[in-house]
Structure 1
């Protein structure tokens, strides 16, 4: 692990999650090969019991194991320090919590020809607890691995843009088995569905890298950007855009990620806010600088 921490991390993250997801994918919630495997719904979804345990066993656990083995206690302190770095400028929180959903809504508004509806009051009430739930589930399970471990190892070796173009597809590939389950709306899945998703995670990773770098490597901000997408689309989307389909949602995420990625790459000339290790780090920058 000390010689090849990145290979060790990705191997562990994929293996641990995929093994844990096997009953969910083979059971009633997936391919139906093993109908005795069933998962009860909690909060209206089977994913909390079927998907979340495998997610927790993947990126975050793999990052902890490899960091401990390769870098010891100093490495664990740095890893945990980024995970607990909440003290950043308020504009990062505003951009993550409000700006990301706004960008998605504007994109969908354009793609749907202006067909948008005002959500009910209950949707607005549900957004805050929904975001908290997303943070402690999806955000906490994934981002300590992808952005807190893999990205700081990839950027010094490959540079910010190339490193992100390695991480983004791998992030998407990690999800692939889930497309053969309720998570991925199986059996309404095609090859294009998976290709589109991996393209989206790659483009979205460019924005995530910029956010992580420019916020002073604040993982909570990266987690908020990630989970704000999930939260908005899972809670508000069907009321905002009643005629939308799963394919429409995927296209919205792809287009908005592509636009954001293009803007970030052009504005930063491919540096994505990255500072080389030998350059002293300053205080977290404000968004847009």
Structure 2
């Protein structure tokens, strides 16, 4: 959600995080958990604190590293205008140059660093395996690829009070390359931290509802400095815009938790869900709804996120896919 506004305890239980089957006694994830527990028992001082509270340290590092890297962008002519400097380029180029360093230095670097410190090489191997979990039932990819633009088209029509125009050939040609670009930038920068590192550990301790209620607002608030830049509409941004964004992040997080759990922790699929939203508003929305404003786009995303959250909460009775037996990424309905 970063590049376009228009848009553990160490042992893991499949009941709340289907990434690592509990019935398996060997393997990288189990080895990582055993090694991490041994290191935790020996660690003292700062290292001991990191071993005992890895998620807390993740949030602290993600904020500190990202906000520090975003400071030049915020103070530049692309933001508050304190510095007599502007990031070069037109269109999305200044945002890429100004935002991407902080996007990568925050969530993904923090997750990698803490995984290495707490779980060692075995943990990093397991992390890599989850990040490359592409083998998911093909219907999941179809659902995500089709449902995101379909849902956002409907909510955009509701908000703008006008029917969508057929997307042009140029939009259709740019849609897939744009999605791939978003996966490499926004998806890879953010989701390895928020969803892959923090969510499973919090789920094991607090359950899926509370874990999502923690990650959602922290994910949304993490973006706050960017509202002081062109990304957030500065200087015309209002507190209502910021509040809508944070509420959207919370609501959308419930949908993302459900997809993460139901797909047995497929990070590529989670990233695809996230980036599908960004891609729609970056490439298709203005072409299909020529009169759409920035406020309309944020309202359409908010509406879609609230409806999606309500559906998955009711359909799963608040379990959000946790405890699902569908290790192959079967579609909902085959397991409660």
User: TM-score under structure 2 normalisation?
Assistant: 0.82
Determine the C-alpha separation between the residues in 2 that align with 1:162 and 1:212: 15
1:282 corresponding residue in structure 2: 327
- Select 2:173's aligned residue among 125, 130, 133: 125
2:252 corresponding residue in structure 1: 204
1:95 corresponding residue in structure 2: 143
Shift of 1:192: 1.0
Q: What pairs up with 1:30-41 in 2 under 5 angstroms?
A: 30-36=79-85, 38-41=86-89
- Which secondary structure does the structure 1 equivalent of 2:51 belong to? coil
1:12 corresponding residue in structure 2: 61
Q: What pairs up with 1:76-87 in 2 under 5 angstroms?
A: 76-87=124-135
Bigger Rg, structure 1 or 2: 2
Structure 1, 53-62 or 68-77: larger mean CA deviation: 68-77
Determine the C-alpha separation between the residues in 1 that align with 2:286 and 2:159: 15
Determine the C-alpha separation between the residues in 1 that align with 2:262 and 2:333: 9
2:76 corresponding residue in structure 1: 27
RMSD between aligned alpha carbons? 1.4
1:262 corresponding residue in structure 2: 310
Q: Unaligned regions of 5+ residues in structure 2, if any?
A: 1-49
Comparing both chains, which one has the higher relative contact order based on Cα–Cα distances under 8 Å and sequence gaps of 6 or more?
2
Determine the C-alpha separation between the residues in 2 that align with 1:78 and 1:117: 45
String of CA shifts for 1:234-283, please: whole Å, max 9, x gaps.
0011111111110110000001000000010011011000129xxx7733
Q: Unaligned regions of 5+ residues in structure 1, if any?
A: none
1:228 corresponding residue in structure 2: 276
Shift of 1:96: 1.5
Asked if the contact 2:88/2:94 (under 8 Å) is kept, the reply is yes
Moved over 4 A (4+): none
Determine the C-alpha separation between the residues in 1 that align with 2:61 and 2:95: 21
Structure 2 residue 206 is matched with structure 1 residue 161: no
